[in-house]
């Protein structure tokens, strides 16, 4: 039987998907589009496991579209390029992060802020303008418009570098935008997980004094000796928190669970800035009084645009910053998700896609 025109423009792909909000992943055959004139096809070698993957698999945010193939911390090598592609060649080491499309014409896109485009197309759990569905990096290959593909510097490893495509840019972007990069200033990093541990490293690279803020006292030694933090603050120790009141210029709040903001705001100096990048599934309570009385600012930030994400990768390569990872095989992913839900990972799972994904 002859193939339809639509089938002619598709190619087979294979990954692991969840089909309902149990979040359980299993082998899944699907299709990707054929490489277009502006496209880059890459063989996926590694994919980081983000907390957003877990939220989406379990429909915690209420907008999951099953089946879901997660993964937006993708690294690999280019296997095909379209005739209009000028930025990449076959064999290049590349990455794909949180987004794979935008309108390219709005004010945000023109300012290299594609991540804030109202027509943003996410790497997974989203749809293209033609109605086809996007699947993420827990799979063997992906086809992406060249604008949304990133070059990996030669000295940045593809496995430990993959989480930078979400975790790295999620903390780098607000530090740049909110002016939280002045050497000698004091940065607090709330939450010492996948985002937080990278924020500590990037903060130190900017020349900041960094305090890790965590509810887990057992993380103190590794925060200081392994990640390079200058000090450690136990967030559920009232005496320790009291002693740190008014000592910090900036705080990046990476906590993705519901938590009070008042204790963090109290740590800030006058004119201090608290920027939240975690995404709890319920609203947080915002106390206005300390903002007014301390002329403090609270803001939010998403991942950066493509230009800034490339800048972040180059910065991390220059300063030898990578994520601390636990490399797993794809068949271990469901156990990894259970551990991630319990914060039992130091500090990012990365799937060894090329060496473990097979039909």
Structural domain includes residue 48: yes
Residue 144 and residue 16 share a domain: yes
| Per-residue pLDDT tens digits for 150-183 | 999 999 999 999 999 999 999 999 999 999 999 9
313 part of a folded domain: no
Q: Are residues 335 and 261 in the same domain?
A: no
297-311 residue pLDDT tens:
999 999 999 999 999
Do 180 and 148 fall within a single domain? no
Residue 230 and residue 330 in one domain: no
All residues at 6 or more sequence positions from 333 whose CB lies less than 8 Å from its CB, including other chains: 16, 25, 49, 138, 351
The average confidence (pLDDT) of the chain is: 94
- The pLDDT of residue 3 is 46
* Among 36, 38, 67, residue whose Cα is nearest residue 134: 67
Would you say residue 342 lies in a domain?
A: yes
The confidence score (pLDDT) of residue 129 equals 87
Place of tokens 């000796």: 225
Instruction: Write out 328-339 in H/E/C secondary structure.
Output: ECHHHHHHHHHH
SS3 at position 241: helix
Q: 148 and 36 in one domain?
A: yes
Q: For 25-44, what is each residue's pLDDT tens digit? A: 999 999 999 999 999 999 99
Mean pLDDT of 65-84: 97
Section 135-154 average pLDDT: 97
CATH number reported for the structural domain that contains residue 28 in this entry: 3.90.180.10
Q: Nearest Cα to 151, choosing from 313, 1, 30?
A: 313
Domain shared by 238 and 125, yes or no: no
Q: Quick check: is 331 in a domain?
A: yes
Residue 171 lies in a domain: yes
Q: Which helix (H) or strand (E) holds 199?
A: helix 194-205
The pLDDT score that the predictor gives to residue 275 is: 97
Of the chain, the percentage scoring pLDDT greater than 90 comes to 90
User: Structural domain tally of the chain?
Assistant: 2
Asked if 117 and 205 sit in the same domain, the reply is no
DSSP character string of 164-197: GGTHHHHHHHHHHHTT---TT-EEEEE--SHHHH
Does residue 161 form part of some domain? no
Identify whether residues 144 and 41 lie together within a single domain.
yes
The verdict on 112 and 177 lying in the same domain is: no
Residues 177, 51 share a domain: no
Q: What is the distance between the alpha carbons of residues 269 and 273, in angstroms, rounded to a whole number?
A: 9
Q: Which domain holds residue 254?
A: 167-300
The CATH number linked to 176 is: 3.40.50.720
- 65 and 144 in a common domain: yes
* Residues 295, 182 within the same domain: yes
| pLDDT tens digits, one per residue of 212-232 | 999 999 999 999 999 999 999
Give the pLDDT score at 4.
44
pLDDT given at position 1: 44
Cα–Cα distance, 261 to 285 (Å, whole number): 7
Task: Tell me the β-bridge partners of 134.
Answer: 126
**Among 284, 300, 316, which residue terminates a domain?**
300
Residue 120, in any domain of the structure: yes
309 belongs to a structural domain: no
């Amino acid at each position: 039987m002859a193939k339809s025109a639509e089938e002619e423009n598709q190619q087979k792909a294979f990954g692991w998907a969840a089909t309902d909000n149990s979040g359980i992943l299993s082998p899944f055959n699907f299709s990707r589009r054929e490489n277009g004139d502006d496209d880059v096809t890459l063989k996926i070698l590694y994919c980081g496991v983000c907390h957003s993957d877990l939220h989406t698999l379990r429909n915690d945010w209420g907008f999951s579209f099953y089946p879901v193939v997660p993964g937006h911390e993708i690294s690999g090598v280019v296997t095909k390029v379209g005739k209009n592609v000028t930025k990449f060649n076959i064999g290049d080491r590349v990455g794909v992060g949180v987004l794979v499309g935008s309108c390219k014409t709005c004010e945000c896109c023109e300012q290299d802020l594609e991540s804030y485009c109202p027509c943003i197309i996410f790497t997974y759990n989203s749809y293209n303008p033609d109605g086809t569905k996007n699947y993420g990096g827990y799979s063997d290959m992906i086809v992406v418009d060249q604008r949304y593909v990133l070059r990996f510097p030669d000295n940045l490893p593809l496995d430990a570098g993959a989480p930078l495509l979400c975790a790295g840019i999620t903390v780098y972007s607000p530090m740049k935008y909110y002016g939280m990069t002045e050497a000698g200033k004091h940065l607090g990093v709330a939450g010492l997980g996948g985002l937080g541990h990278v924020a500590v490293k990037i903060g130190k690279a900017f020349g900041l004094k960094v305090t890790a803020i965590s509810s887990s006292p057992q993380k103190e030694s590794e925060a200081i000796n392994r990640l390079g933090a200058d000090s450690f603050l136990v967030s559920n120790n009232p005496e320790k928190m009291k002693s740190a009141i008014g000592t910090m210029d900036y705080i990046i709040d990476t906590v993705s669970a519901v938590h009070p903001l008042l204790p963090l705001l109290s740590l800030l100096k006058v004119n201090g800035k608290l920027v939240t990048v975690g995404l709890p599934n319920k609203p947080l309570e915002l106390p206005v009084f300390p903002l007014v009385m301390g002329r403090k600012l609270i803001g939010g930030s998403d991942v950066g645009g493509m230009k800034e994400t490339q800048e972040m990768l180059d910065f991390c390569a220059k300063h030898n910053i990578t994520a601390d990872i636990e490399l797993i095989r794809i068949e271990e992913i469901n156990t990894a998700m259970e551990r991630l839900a319990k914060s039992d990972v130091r500090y990012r799972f990365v799937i060894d896609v090329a060496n473990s994904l097979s039909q």
